Amino acid sequence: MNALATILEVRGLSVSLPIGGKLTPVVTDMNLSIARGEAVALVGESGCGKSMTARAIIGLPPPGAEIAGSIVLKGQELTQLTPSERRRIGGREIGFIFQEPMTSLHPTLSIGAQMTDGLRYHLGLSRTAALERARELLDRVGIPRGRDILAGHAHQLSGGMRQRVVIAMAIACGPSLVIADEPTTALDVTIQAQVLDLLARMREELGLAMLYITHDLEVVADFCDRAIVMYAGDRVEDGQPEQCLTRPRHPYTSGLVAAIPRMGGTSARLSPIPGQVPPVGAWPAGCRFAPRCAIADEICATRPVFDAGVRCWRPLASPAP
Amino acid sequence: MIRYIGRRLLLILPTIFVPLILVFLMLRLAPGDPAAQILGDQATPDQVAALRHDMGLDQPLVVQFVFWLKGVLTLHLGASFFFRQPVIDILPSYAFVTIQVALLALFIALVVGACAGVAAALKRDTPIDRGLVALAVLGLSLPEFWFALLLIFLFAVTWRIFPVAGYVAPSEGLVASFMTIALPAIALGLRQSALMTRMMRSSMLDVMSEPYIATARAQGLPERRVVLRYALRVAAAPFVTVAGLSASHLLSGAVAIELIFSLPGLGKLLIDAVGRRDYPVVEGAVLAIAIMLAILNLAIDLLYALLDPRVRLS
Ligand SMILES: Nc1ncnc2c1ncn2[C@@H]1O[C@H](COP(=O)(O)OP(=O)(O)OP(=O)(O)O)[C@@H](O)[C@H]1O
Ligand code: SF4
Ligand SMILES: [Mg+2]
């Protein structure tokens, strides 16, 4: 993999939000890089900072957020851009797919109007040209009769169809990176598989770099080249999904894997991780996982450094050579 | 859409006839004899009885009602006892004044309310937002007539920008005419805009946190475009409903404020006619106000359907 093919390079990203009048870190020391055609999964329980990481990358954090670190997209340092330049990166260079297909499309604008807005703004297409392009895009994401769909509204479409439309919008202006924030969570299982297939196909056909946010490591194991496991705003493990599943190195990853329900498994012995995720603002000073970790030691009162793919003083197995 | 309009048209019938029937009953069941009133103190009982017969007041209530209903349906509203000319000829010029004031007030309320509401929402929690909200609260707590008197005192008496009272028809000079209705319209509209500001602000804040706004932003569209094209369209829908309620309120407000500003509108006509026991004019004025309200509500419904395609289908 050569350096030129690196699409996104995030270094030392921290996001702090004003919570209860105090600036509170919700993501710390985030590093990640995604190459052309590569898919990286961001995995972790609810509230660990996955969406906030994504929102920082696309430049749409909540009001009052403070962002530190470097975000480089195709060699361009995004944190140095003026707000309006930064804004234009979205849609043009980065496509974003949201979790809720039922509410992420506008309720009263036609599908056509929503799909063509970005095309006309970023690519300067005429109305008719943009509509024609939108129809092609719909065709591409597996929606026939595009013309009818474009004239219609979101409420006339099923959840799966809406998510296809959202995917079409995300790839409309030919971005190099697509961020999908739990794009299938709200869908039926069969539809989930279809949408995942579609994303995989788009990635291959368009050579997209993809950041795929999920709380289910198993679902993305085939789909992603790398997985980053997050816990309480931290990147705790970074490796191949298969390896994370079969030979997790961080005790938290190991706990996550143990809690995955197995289909047709011999027993229903799910072992959820004991204790609870500490809320933001109440993270332990040392290892944030320490209060729940079975093998915690004195050294764990000191914050572990991220080393060899894992942020832990006492990683479990060693990685495959 | 045609079916939708048809259904709406059916629904407005009661809003016209219920007030009319109430007025019909109230006038006839209230004590006091219009015939005696018209003829004055010197009239003999025979003269009064003759006039009562001419006016149909000696008939049973049911018969009177049937005649009256026939009259209303064919727009034969009878002749004014006082003006001695057909009611239908009297109404238009009075209605015109009321409509003028109400429309101008609505325009002021909508424009000021929408702009202030959107501005407050976009500048949420800044001094601009707090200032606008404070003004709106102040506006809502002032009684309308008090506000009207304050305006008269400031702009008509102290600074002499507007006339204190009276009316000039547009045919006698557009500017002079505008000046006579401006102050009553401002008094009505500005106060109503306080309600609209609060409404628009909260509606806008709700919409701006919707996922589809995040989608539009993630598309890289400029914030202006997101606000004007994506957010306002949705935020305006409840706003239109409130505007409809407001417009009804403004129409009745116009009727009331005419008395303060001595404007020859339906309100003044109605009050004067009640004093004179001029039944046909009272009924005519109520009919005119009811029809205007009904048309207004219909227009609001249609506007609502245009803004939101889901309404048309349901
Ligand atoms: N607008 C906001 N204001 C204040 N705090 C917020 C806001 N949005 C999120 N948070 C907090 O920031 C932390 C990270 O949230 P984030 O949305 O990134 O979690 P997530 O990993 O995406 O979770 P989920 O799986 O539920 O989507 C959470 O603790 C959350 O409570
Ligand atoms: S650093 Fe210590 S407490 Fe944290 S995960 Fe590793 S072993 Fe457990
Ligand atoms: Mg999230």
In chain B, domain spans: 2-73, 91-307
DSSP symbols for B125-160: TSHHHHHHHHHHHHHHHS-HHHHHHHHIIIIIIIS-
Question: Which ligand is the nearest neighbour of the Cα of A26?
Answer: 1
Residues of A in contact with B217 (CB under 8 A): 60, 87, 90
Instruction: Considering only residues A25 and B241, tell me which one the structure prediction assigns the higher pLDDT.
Output: A25
Are the beta carbons of A117 and B219 separated by less than 8 Å? yes
Nearest CA owner, ligand 1 atom 16: A49
A261 pLDDT above the threshold of 80: no
Instruction: State how far the Cα of A164 lies from the Cα of A201, in Å rounded to an integer.
Output: 13
The answer to the question of residue A275 being in a domain is yes
Residue of B nearest to A99 (CA): B211
Q: How far is A56 from chain B (nearest CA, A)?
A: 12
Are the beta carbons of B215 and A108 separated by less than 8 Å? no
Percent share of chain A, pLDDT over 70: 94
How does residue A263 score in pLDDT terms, banded at 50, 70 and 90? low
| pLDDT of amino acid B160 | 86
Mutate to test the interface with B, among A52, A98, A104, A155 (most CBs of B within 10 A): A104
Instruction: Considering only residues A159 and A270, tell me which one the structure prediction assigns the higher pLDDT.
Output: A159
Q: What is the mean pLDDT of residues B173-195?
A: 89
Residues of B in contact with A155 (CB under 8 A): 310
Judging by DSSP bridges, how do beta strands A177-181 and A209-214 pair with one another? Answer: parallel
B309 pLDDT above the threshold of 70: no
Phi, psi of B161 (to 5 degrees): -80, -40
The helix-helix angle for B266-275 and B279-307 (nearest 10°) equals: 150
In this structure, what token pair is assigned to residue A112?
Answer: 């056509």
| pLDDT of amino acid B26 | 81
The answer to the question of residue A205 being in a domain is yes
Q: Radius of gyration of chain B from Cα atoms?
A: 24
| Model pLDDT for residues B220-235, shown as the tens digit of each residue | 999 989 998 999 988 8
Q: What is the CATH number of the domain that holds A158?
A: 3.40.50.300
ipTM: 0.90
Question: Which ligand is the nearest neighbour of the Cα of A215?
Answer: 1
Are the beta carbons of B215 and A155 separated by less than 8 Å? no
| pLDDT of amino acid A1 | 46
| pLDDT of amino acid A270 | 62
| pLDDT of amino acid A105 | 95
The answer to the question of residue A223 being in a domain is yes
Scanning A80-224, the segments in alpha helix (DSSP H) are: 83-92, 111-123, 127-140, 146-151, 159-171, 189-206, 217-220
Q: How far is A89 from chain B (nearest CA, A)?
A: 6
Could you tell me the CATH superfamily of domain B91-307? Answer: MetI-like (1.10.3720.10)
The answer to the question of residue A45 being in a domain is yes
Nearest CA owner, ligand 2 atom 3: A290
Residues of B in contact with A109 (CB under 8 A): 229-230, 233
Scanning A32-92, the segments in alpha helix (DSSP H) are: 50-58, 83-92
Burial of B67 (0-12, 13-18, 19+ CB in 10 A): middle
Question: Which ligand is the nearest neighbour of the Cα of A55?
Answer: 1
Question: Which ligand is the nearest neighbour of the Cα of A27?
Answer: 1
| Model pLDDT for residues B4-55, shown as the tens digit of each residue | 778 878 888 887 888 888 888 887 777 777 777 777 777 788 888 888 888 7
Could you tell me which residues come within 8 angstroms of residue A46 by beta carbon, excluding any fewer than 6 positions away? A215
A43 pLDDT above the threshold of 90: yes
For the ranges A98-107, A140-149, B184-193, B294-303, the lowest mean pLDDT is seen at B294-303
Are the beta carbons of A92 and B230 separated by less than 8 Å? no
Nearest CA owner, ligand 1 atom 30: A47
Are the beta carbons of A98 and B218 separated by less than 8 Å? yes
Judging by DSSP bridges, how do beta strands A6-19 and A94-97 pair with one another? Answer: unpaired
A139 pLDDT above the threshold of 60: yes
Residues of A in contact with B211 (CB under 8 A): 98, 100, 103-104
Mutate to test the interface with A, among B203, B215, B226, B307 (most CBs of A within 10 A): B215
Percent share of chain A, pLDDT over 90: 75
Instruction: State how far the Cα of B106 lies from the Cα of B240, in Å rounded to an integer.
Output: 12
Phi, psi of B158 (to 5 degrees): -75, -55
Residues 217-276, chain B, touching A (beta carbon < 8 A): 217-223, 225, 229-230, 233-234, 237
Size of interface A-B (CB pairs under 8 A): 79
Query: Among A281-285, B136-140, B238-242, B255-259, which range has the highest average pLDDT?
Result: A281-285
| pLDDT of amino acid A4 | 52
Q: Is A103 on the interface with B (CB under 8 A)?
A: yes
Residues with CB under 5 A from ligand 3 (ion): A 51
Model pTM above 0.80:
no
- The Å distance, Cα A48 to ligand 3 centre, comes to 8
* Residue range(s) defining the domain that contains residue A26: 3-108+153-260+270-311
Q: A289: Cβ below 6 Å to ligand 2?
A: yes
Angular region, A291: left φ>0, alpha ψ -120 to 50, beta rest: alpha
Judge whether B130 and B138 are in contact, CB under 8 Å.
no
| Model pLDDT for residues A62-102, shown as the tens digit of each residue | 988 999 999 999 999 999 999 999 999 999 999 999 988 88
Q: What is the DSSP letter of A22?
A: E
The dihedral sign for the CA sequence B225, B228, B233, B235: positive
Instruction: Considering only residues B79 and A48, tell me which one the structure prediction assigns the higher pLDDT.
Output: A48
Instruction: State how far the Cα of B187 lies from the Cα of B180, in Å rounded to an integer.
Output: 12
On average, the pLDDT of chain B sits at 85
For chain A, how many structural domains are there in total?
Answer: 1
| Model pLDDT for residues A13-41, shown as the tens digit of each residue | 999 999 988 999 999 999 999 999 999 99
Q: Is B216 on the interface with A (CB under 8 A)?
A: yes
Q: Is A82 on the interface with B (CB under 8 A)?
A: no
Q: Is A218 on the interface with B (CB under 8 A)?
A: no
Amino acid present at A21: G
Q: Is A60 on the interface with B (CB under 8 A)?
A: yes
Could you tell me which residues come within 8 angstroms of residue B280 by beta carbon, excluding any fewer than 6 positions away? B77, B78, B79, B80, B81, B87
Residues of A in contact with B237 (CB under 8 A): 108
Which residues have C-beta atoms less than 6 Å from ligand 1? Answer: A 17, 19, 26, 44, 46-52, 62, 215, 280
The answer to the question of residue A221 being in a domain is yes
Q: Is A313 on the interface with B (CB under 8 A)?
A: no
Instruction: State how far the Cα of A164 lies from the Cα of A169, in Å rounded to an integer.
Output: 9
Instruction: State how far the Cα of A273 lies from the Cα of B205, in Å rounded to an integer.
Output: 39
| pLDDT of amino acid B246 | 81
Residues of A in contact with B307 (CB under 8 A): 108
Are the beta carbons of B219 and A169 separated by less than 8 Å? yes
